[in-house]
Amino acid sequence: MQTIGNVAQGVGGMIPAVISNFIVPGSGLFTMATGAAGNATEEAISRGVDTGSALAYGVAIGVTEAATEKLFNGVASVFGKGAADDVIKNLVKNVSKNETTQKAIMMLADTLGEGFEEWLTEYAEAYENKLLINQDSRSFKDISSDALYSAAIGSLVSVVMQGGNIANLS
């Protein structure tokens, strides 16, 4: 049940970025990043971190979220083209000449890419926490476990967000 709740929370967390992007194309990434920055800042302050350090931490988290979201097109094109998209598209064209198969492989790549982004973010944010506010007491093993779980949730969120695209494969 926790996994379903975390996927629902992930999808729900995307709604402001999706709406923002619909109203002002290209603004979804900014909306998501500033939301992440604000949440991280608020969490740090609630843990007793001074305002300046909390703001620095929040900005670092927001930048990390924005940067990792630009690696792949993992969430139904909400954040635009990812840095690896052209490379993946060219590889997929070499794997199959069938357009439906290419679309399916690209969706799988997007899903796995979103999982990778979340995995990478978990490590980056743990490092930023230790560097800037030192409030993360998890061991490397715990961070690694959390990163794998975040990757799974991110991939599942991507599947949900791509739902309409799955129906249009043929």
The full 3-state SS of 40-88, as one line of letters, equals HHHHHHHCCCCHHHHHHHHHHHHHHHHHHHCCCCCCCCCCCCCCCHHHH
Q: Is residue 163's pLDDT more than 80? A: no
pLDDT tens per residue, range 36-74 = 999 999 999 999 999 999 999 999 999 999 999 888 876
Question: How deeply is 164 buried, as exposed, middle or buried, from its count of CB atoms within 10 A (0-12, 13-18, 19+)?
Answer: exposed
Angle, helices 28-46/51-69, rounded to nearest 10 degrees: 150
Two tokens, residue 140: 């490397």
- Domain residue spans in the chain? 2-68+82-167
Q: Decide: 80 and 26 in contact? Cβ < 8 Å.
A: yes
pLDDT tens per residue, range 51-61 = 999 999 999 99
